[in-house]
Amino acid sequence: MTMHSSHAASCVPAPPKAKCIPHQLEKHDQVRVDPYYWLNDRTNPEVVAYLQAENEYAKAMQEHTADLEQVLFKEIKGRIQQTDLSVPFQQEDYIYYIRYEEGKEYALYCRKKGSLSSPEEIMIDGNALAQGHEYFSLGHWMISSGQDILAYAIDTQGRRIYSIGFKNLTTGETLPDVIPAVTGNMEWGNDNRTIFYSRQDPDTLRAYQIYRHVLGTDSAQDELVYEEVDETFSAFVAKSKSKRFLLIGLHQTVSSEYRYLNADTPWGTFQVFHPRERGHEYDVDHLGDHFFIRTNDQAKNFRLMKAEVKATQKTQWQEVIPHRPDVFFEGFELFREHLVVEERRQGLIHLRILSNSGGQEHELDFGEPAYLAALGDNFMIDTPYLRFGYTSMTTPMTIYDYHMDTREKIFLKQEEVLGDFQISHYQTERLFAPAADGTSIPISLVYRKGFAPNGSHPLLLYGYGSYGASMDASFSSARVSLLDRGFVYALAHIRGGEELGRQWYEQGKLLEKKNTFTDFIACAEFLVQRGYGNAQKLYAMGGSAGGLLMGAVMNLQPEMFHGVVAQVPFVDVVTTMLDPNIPLTTGEYDEWGDPNQRESYDYMLSYSPYDNVKPQAYPHLLVTAGLHDSQVQYWEPAKWVAKLRALKRDDHRLLLKTNMEAGHSGASGRFKRYEETAMIYAFLLDLAGVAQT
């Protein structure tokens, strides 16, 4: 499909040209010339002007779909219950919940003492805090042990750099204590006046320090409790479910370490739980006389161990749940009388209930071919009820309490979807596509009933496939706007995720990363062959590392997709991984490889989307970026688009939309974020020829 706008050709932004000699990047006796390297300065007025020119061009190119965008935004927003209330949860003697008021972008954080019939206390009004800010995010919030002091973290730029504030919930007074430039991660000691928090490196944004703050003191004098010197590790602070221990967690891609301190004596010294070992990952919680440890020691898919409080070394751990090669042990929840295990079998989550007194175990049955089940807000130890959430591609998120003894499932709330939406109008399936090496790749998909796999429908295939992050089949009320217009939506569970266990992740990282890309292509080919999508109306979408996937697939099979959406794409892999001063770099050598090593350098260079742009035809492409993105720097998509503009041999649309006020997650606000969704959907519907409003 050619460009619609009659003046489009005249307003195409010229590829930016540096005002100096193109930057030369030398490594391993090889020189790469990067003519757009100069774009990595967000303070340069010429860089800002270029991004704004691209935004104007994108706006002009989508002028003919402006009405459709508005219809879609109104439609998506119209499905949202504006006056809404989260499912309340209990902590100590208070019941907490979040609610929204009609027309407002941000939540009110509330509580009631004892029961829901008690008077409401509004702890924080996000709308009031957001006033005067283009971007606003309230991150973590924590209640002190005495239930009278609220600590909350806010970000007003989108770079995930927070300030922590405090409020006395008894008097309503905002305390003078302010802790600036932190990660937002924090945890209270049990003395009701000491709080621990993590701070990031100002350049790389790696969380590497844990500080201790005492209310009423100057935060500039806060005590540094721990500093992580290994640049591949990051640090955070948490508390055990028992609330007896404070925990410092230290994690990198393949190793971890914990330190612990009695929360009743927060001025004390943290002790090492078990020293780090290369390749050993473990997580810790506590209940009663034991720590419980999820570990991959001699267990690729993890197993559960326990240790007495005064005997935390690995040699003294006792096995609770053994390793199983066909089951991935994802997590657990501790209760006084029960142990709940979250595990994956054949890519799907199962929740298994074990009695601590030796009773018969059982598991919850969810009854759909593809779904997401997740442990919910389970803060109370002495309860027979398990809180969990369930969703599928046809079922909005539904929250239940489950009585672990009587096995009664109590419905609490389902995400309300307004308008004429009915679950019965949609169908979900789970298929398996053969990869190039014979591996079966799961695919979850959804469509409106009445669909027939006759090869006539537009199809959007989504993928991620990195960091061991599993992409589960969940519901999206916004997606209904595509399904109701005839689209099929499919989710490719490609290698690099962890849907089928740790080996699924390992087969899609480092020197096997290309499996991620070829798996995605195999899924697309399979769906077209089976008639689920029209080869001429096949679309792909992915974000962040999924944006790298989009770029790699476009270089490998440029003719396969009619259109591609790459959201905040990580596309300049080699240059980024060679720069230890960029956020996330050093901590990800075990994900992508260390380009200082020749073998890893050559392999990354062979698939890096930016480095492999060729003078050839590419699909229609919509790229998004965030000027303040701390995870994928804005210049990666900007450079990629500039190079594509200079080299591509087609008249297909190439659009770059940079949010000048936001970061990795895009716009803030409950409704505003859907403006970008509407823009993306309008782009896809227009390409597919189903752009009727």
Quote the pLDDT of residue 8.
37
Quote the pLDDT of residue 139.
87
Residue labelled with tokens 């035809």: 617
Confidence of residue 290 (pLDDT cuts 50, 70, 90): very high
Least confident of 7-16, 35-44, 290-299, 433-442: 7-16
Q: pLDDT per residue over 50-61, tens digit each?
A: 999 999 999 999
The C-alpha angle with vertex 137 and arms to 133 and 142, in degrees rounded to 5, equals: 130
Mean pLDDT (whole number) for 643-664: 88
Mean pLDDT of the chain: 92
Provide the whole-model pTM: 0.89
Q: pLDDT per residue over 133-166, tens digit each?
A: 888 889 899 999 999 999 999 998 877 889 999 9
Confidence of residue 104 (pLDDT cuts 50, 70, 90): confident
Q: Round to whole Å and give the CA distance between 295 and 514.
A: 28
Quote the pLDDT of residue 4.
35
CA torsion 80-470-228-143 (nearest 10°) is 30
Asked whether the beta carbons of 556 and 499 are under 8 A apart, the reply is no
Which of 491, 458, 528, 520 is CA-nearest to residue 681? 458
Mean pLDDT (whole number) for 669-690: 90
pLDDT exceeds cutoff 70 at 106: yes
Confidence of residue 81 (pLDDT cuts 50, 70, 90): confident
Quote the pLDDT of residue 671.
74
Active site residues: 544, 629, 664
Confidence of residue 9 (pLDDT cuts 50, 70, 90): very low
User: Which CA distances in Å does 309 have to 23, 291, 357?
Assistant: 56, 6, 20
Q: pLDDT per residue over 462-510, tens digit each?
A: 999 999 999 999 999 999 999 999 999 999 999 999 999 999 999 999 9
Identify the residue with better confidence: 665 or 220.
220
User: What are the backbone dihedrals phi and psi of residue 678, each rounded to the nearest 5 degrees, phi first?
Assistant: -60, -40
Least confident of 318-322, 521-525, 631-635: 631-635
Asked whether the beta carbons of 446 and 394 are under 8 A apart, the reply is yes
Quote the pLDDT of residue 22.
74
Q: Residue 63 in 3-state DSSP?
A: helix
Confidence of residue 451 (pLDDT cuts 50, 70, 90): very high
The amino acid at 588 = E
CA 8 to chain centre: 35
Residue labelled with tokens 């009933």: 449
Confidence of residue 16 (pLDDT cuts 50, 70, 90): low
Strand intervals (E) in 75-170: 84-85, 89-91, 94-100, 108-113, 121-125, 137-143, 149-155, 162-168
User: Which CA distances in Å does 619 have to 622, 684, 685?
Assistant: 10, 12, 15
DSSP secondary structure of 497-547: B-TT-HHHHHTTSGGGTHHHHHHHHHHHHHHHHTTSS-GGGEEEEEETHHH
CA torsion 230-236-239-244 (nearest 10°) is 30
Count of beta carbons in the 10 Å neighbourhood of residue 14: 10
Least confident of 17-21, 204-208, 342-346: 17-21
Mean pLDDT (whole number) for 117-129: 94
Asked whether the beta carbons of 181 and 164 are under 8 A apart, the reply is no
Asked whether the beta carbons of 365 and 348 are under 8 A apart, the reply is no
The amino acid at 145 = S
Quote the pLDDT of residue 1.
31
Q: pLDDT per residue over 311-339, tens digit each?
A: 999 999 999 999 999 999 999 999 999 99
